[in-house]
Amino acid sequence: MADDLTDIVADIVATMRSAQDRGRVAHYIPELAKVEPHHFGIAVATADGQMVTGGDADLRFSIQSISKVFALTLALGKVGDQLWDRVGREPSGTAFNSIVQLEHEQGIPRNPFINAGAIVVADVNLGGHQPRVAIGEMLRFLRYLAGDDDIAINEAVAASETASGFRNMALANYMRAFDNVRHPVELVLGAYFHQCAIEMSCRQLALAGRYLMLDGRHPDGGRVVSPRRARRINALMLTCGHYDASGDFAFRVGMPGKSGVGGGILAIVPGRASIAVWSPGLNASGNSQLGTLALEELSSRTGWSIFSPPAAR
């Protein structure tokens, strides 16, 4: 498979580099609007320890909402299933920053991967500390997962999000009114905005996701989460990881995945691979246009859809 996978990744990179319609970069966060749309990178970390990369796999980008996977992992480690008293587990069917459902459901976000749910998760991870403590914990966690201490926050992106994040401020204040945000809103959003501004390359991100392909284990043998929790996080990624396009992503790609408006996607094939793709241009649903197409092609050529028969995978 190693030679085949190398050829497949090279073919995908060539196809994506020649694509004419590359989507549109996120324009509502000023720093992200500056990113050149021509980039494309992919990294595949396999369960047997191989790494296959292509394109701009070592360029760093703002992981944005992909950070919600790792924040959720930390929050579940702190409060366990009590988290689900404050955040749901259902697909939203609405945009990632919608406030409509919050009003109808009395301040309980539909799932932890829409912005409102991630803000509640940030509130849990804040744990009575200053934002710098929660941010430091997140960075240490990602550095451990990736085996790379050179992962950091882009402070310009964090400042840009803080200056333009009025919708997130509205979401947080609305949930505070229902006592579903317990800390001061400015502290919670300070942690949340900096979490989203973490920069990683495709290579680093694929390495960080390995515990979700290995039933909760780190490749060094350590236990990150239980097998049951790893499966449940993957389930949430499959059903909720692409906002109101989650069903379409499952239909076309068939892998648990989490997107970010920085143009990255982390996709997991349990027992087989942790995959990161990045192309900053977004489709109409706010997910990487070329990243989605690349993962669809990878799934088709490898048979890695979780809906394929085990023999085909």
Are the beta carbons of 292 and 285 closer than 8 angstroms?
no
Q: 243 catalytic, yes or no?
A: yes
How many CB atoms are closer than 10 A to CB 186? 11
Question: Which alpha helices (H) appear in 38-130, and where do they start and end?
Answer: 67-79, 100-104, 115-126
Nearest to 233 by CA among 173, 200, 274: 274
Please give the full DSSP string across 111-157, using - where no structure is assigned: -TTSHHHHHHHHHHHHTTS-HHHHHHHHHHHHHHHHT-S--EE-HHH
Q: 65 catalytic, yes or no?
A: yes
Q: 261 catalytic, yes or no?
A: yes
Nearest to 140 by CA among 149, 131, 132: 149
The residue annotated as part of the active site, out of 68, 98, 124, 279, is 68
Residue showing tokens 């394929």: 308
The residue annotated as part of the active site, out of 243, 269, 288, 299, is 243
Backbone angles phi, psi at 98, to 5 degrees: -70, 145
- Tokens describing residue 221: 């043998």
Tell me which H or E stretch contains 313. Answer: none
The residue annotated as part of the active site, out of 9, 52, 62, 65, is 65
The residue annotated as part of the active site, out of 157, 261, 269, 277, is 261
> Packing angle between helix 2-17 and helix 289-302, nearest 10 degrees?
150
The residue annotated as part of the active site, out of 13, 157, 192, 259, is 192
Which sequence positions are flagged as catalytic? Answer: 65, 68, 192, 243, 261
